[in-house]
Amino acid sequence: MPELPEVETMRRGILHLVGSRITGAEFPCGPKRPISTTPAPAAIVAGIRGGRLSAVERFGKRLALEITFPTRQRWLVIEPRMTGLMLVVPPPTTDHVRLVMHMRHAREQRQHPLVFWDQRGLGTLRLVDARGLDRACGQTTLGPDGLVVTGDDLSRALARSRRAIKVALLDQRAVAGIGNIYAAEILHRTGLDPRAACHRLSRQVWDRLADMTRAVLAEAVRLEGSSIGDELYQTPARRLGRFQQRHRVYGRTDQPCPTCRTAVRRIVQGQRSTFFCPQCQSRSGRRSS
DNA sequence: CGTTCAACCTGGGCGC
DNA sequence: TGCGCCCAGGTTGAAC
């Protein structure tokens, strides 16, 4: 579920908790249905209790909570994967509440839970120090952020690749934050065939692609992400995203392309669905002609 | 370098 | 009603 816009929305939706003390934490699902954590849940609870939430950062599709102690600091890196959500209001179900952090705000002395809820449980939690943060979220793992990526960045990372552009855009080492929804929407707005081979794309096309990547992701952040299908994705306050109203091809197999009315096609690339308009997206992005 | 497949999980929708 | 199958926003590691 969460791609860059959804994770950025989570970040913004919990920013007001910066300054709060973490007075306690629990893993309510227990060992019966564990999510992947490093270290084990008990060590995470011990490692964050008593600390102060001092920053909330986003690295691609990952959220990192900086937790400060008098003599050191740690980072709790949260990867929501398919169905993970950060919530500051009661969750959709009491099932699937993976982590509860009890926050006490500096001013209002009110206890306030911060919840990581994850239906499928594919999400991961890691508690690391500064070096661990670099390993988990540094440049070796993640390329430039999708909100600021340039044509230079994309061209440098991908112009020699023989992969299809759709598959390459999902490579987090090339550009961080694009997932299946936004790859489809970016390519439609660029007019590019998702099957076009990277090494055949012109420099102009890389520039257009980077421009469209920044524009689409920024607009999706503004609209608080995409809540599709069962509307599982919600903001920390449990509002629905609104970018799905702007989707042109994602999840719209056989429906008319909003630009040209041609039926949207679904194909499979790299074991994942690709949605595109065969009419609007016929450009192979050739260097010449 | 690439691709392909399986795995990690829950749950909704569909055809029979 | 139930069963089996396919699908879903992501990532990783193994095999070739």
CA distance A32 to A136: 27
Distances, alpha carbon A164 to alpha carbons A118, A148, A185, A211, A263, in Å: 32, 22, 16, 19, 22
Q: Is A182 part of any domain? A: yes
What angle do helix axes A180-190 and A203-222 make, rounded to 10 degrees?
130
User: Domain containing A88 — which CATH number?
Assistant: 3.20.190.10
Cα radius of gyration rounded to whole Å, chain A: 20
The yes-or-no answer on residue A79 being catalytic is no
CA A283 from chain center: how many Å? 28
Residue A268 lies in a domain: yes
Of A7, A152, A184, A174, the residue nearest A78 (C-alpha): A7
Whether the pTM exceeds 0.75: the reply is yes
Asked if strand C contacts A155 at the CB level, meaning under 7 A, the answer is: no
Same domain for A173 and A130:
no
The answer to whether position A285 is within a domain reads no
Q: Write the CB contacts of A110 (distance below 8 Å, at least 6 apart in sequence).
A: A104
For chain A, percent of residues with pLDDT exceeding 70: 98
Helix axes A203-222, A4-14, angle to 10 degrees: 40
User: Domain end: A137, A171, A196, which one?
Assistant: A137
Residues with CB under 7 A from strand B: A 33-34, 82, 93, 95-96, 119-122, 160-164, 167, 230, 270-271
A39-56 pLDDT, tens per residue? Answer: 999 999 999 999 999 999
Q: Is A61 a catalytic residue?
A: yes
Count the domains in chain A. 2
pLDDT at residue A289, as a whole number: 38
Distance CA A166, CA A58 (A): 23
Structural domain including A164 reads 151-276
Residue A115 within a domain: yes
Instruction: List bases, strand B, within 7 Å of protein CB.
Output: 1-6, 8-13
Q: What is the pLDDT of residue A106?
A: 77
Tokens read off for A158: 């991908």
Residue A19 lies in a domain: yes
Is the CB atom of residue A78 positioned under 7 angstroms from any atom of strand C?
no
Question: For A105-134, what is the mean pLDDT?
Answer: 92
pLDDT 10s digits, A147-185:
999 999 999 999 999 999 999 999 999 999 999 999 999
Residues with Cβ within 8 Å of residue A59, at least 6 apart in sequence: A77, A136, A137, A142, A145, A176
pLDDT at A283 over 90: no
Domain identity same for A132 and A13: yes
Query: Does residue A242 share a domain with residue A176?
Result: yes
- Whether A256 is in a domain gets the answer yes
Prior bond of A39 cis (ω within 30°) = yes
Interior CA angle at A6 toward A173 and A39, to 5°? Answer: 65
* Sign of the Cα pseudo-torsion (A5, A225, A57, A99, in order): negative
- For residues A20 and A50, what is the distance between their CA atoms, to the nearest angstrom? 10
The closest alpha carbon to A44, from A24, A71, A19, belongs to A24
Contact A190, A180 (CB under 8 A): no
Contact of A276 with A194, CB cutoff 8 Å: yes
Q: Which of A137, A170, A196 is the last residue of a domain?
A: A137
